[in-house]
Structure 1
């Protein structure tokens, strides 16, 4: 019995491989600072969110600026219908889908545990409709709104130790 348990322990120990303590390289075509300069028909919408992404290696940072004619929050948070949220995390591209998984943060990208707007996990999926060296068109799979991004700064991935 002990020999069998010892054998399984050795098998488990030697079959495990340690993952490298280095950030992944991500997708070359996404590396950079991308800004959504305008929103189609924004005047007619009750609310909309503009995105600013910084994508470096396999990581993303996103600034979300929401404009709303409807108050979803307490008056102290509503801020006359314009507010910012921030998130960071990692991304993956599978087929034509960009999957972002991270957490909502403060403006300095440090953990946000409470406060106005959303807390906790940030999970968003986009269909990559088109991409070029200077533009990226995404469709949010939650609400089917199109997000047209313009490259503001190219970034070259230099993986960092985790």
Structure 2
């Protein structure tokens, strides 16, 4: 009985290994960056928010896309501190940063990464504001070659991003 079990187990293991080699899920990750979306390569700055002087809170995005990677800084402005200590909220203004990889499918841009410090180092848990995973999804509408309208899924207010510096993807080793 034990001999039969060993044979079946060995056969199952070999079948699973052979099947895994044929499946894309079992391939190693590439050792080079992917090229990303050519139209997004470069730095994009959000235009000012309509009626921002009348709003209690608003944020301004700055994106940098390089190949399949992104770096985003979000500058927050608030007339109320939102429950954060005064040491975190400097005169109602603060920034959060994140980096990671992005994927665009049709008109949907998905950003997946981690919160980080302004110098790209990963942010430790605790302290001011958010840390850990950063996930954000936008619907994009191209207005011109240098203006894209972003529709965040976490907000009802779309915004325009203006291209301030074009770049070309030169994939780097990971």
Between 80-89 and 8-17, report the one with greater CA deviation: 8-17
* Conserved 8 A contact 2:77-2:93: yes
> 2:23 matched to 1:19?
no
> 2:71 matched to 1:61?
yes
Q: The residue matched to 1:29 in structure 2 has which SS?
A: helix
| 1:93 match | 104
CA 5–119 in structure 1, closer or farther in 2 if over 3 Å, else same: same
> 2:90 matched to 1:79?
yes
Separation (CA, whole Å) in 1 of partners of 2:14 and 2:167: 44
Cα RMSD after superposing both structures = 1.5
Q: How many residues align?
A: 162
Question: C-alpha deviations, 1:45-89, integer Å up to 9, x for none?
Answer: 111110110001111100111010111211111111011111011
Structure 2 unmatched runs, 5+:
21-25
Between 90-99 and 45-54, report the one with greater CA deviation: 90-99
| 1:157 match | 169
Separation (CA, whole Å) in 2 of partners of 1:62 and 1:24: 19
Q: The residue matched to 2:156 in structure 1 has which SS?
A: coil
Which residue of 134, 142, 145 maps to 2:157?
145
Separation (CA, whole Å) in 2 of partners of 1:149 and 1:84: 18
CA 131–19 in structure 1, closer or farther in 2 if over 3 Å, else same: farther
Which residue of 112, 116, 120 maps to 2:123?
112
CA 7–20 in structure 1, closer or farther in 2 if over 3 Å, else same: farther
* Conserved 8 A contact 2:47-2:159: no
CA 106–157 in structure 1, closer or farther in 2 if over 3 Å, else same: same
CA 4–21 in structure 1, closer or farther in 2 if over 3 Å, else same: farther
Q: Measure how far apart 1:140 and its partner are.
A: 1.0
| 1:5 match | 9
Q: Measure how far apart 1:131 and its partner are.
A: 4.2
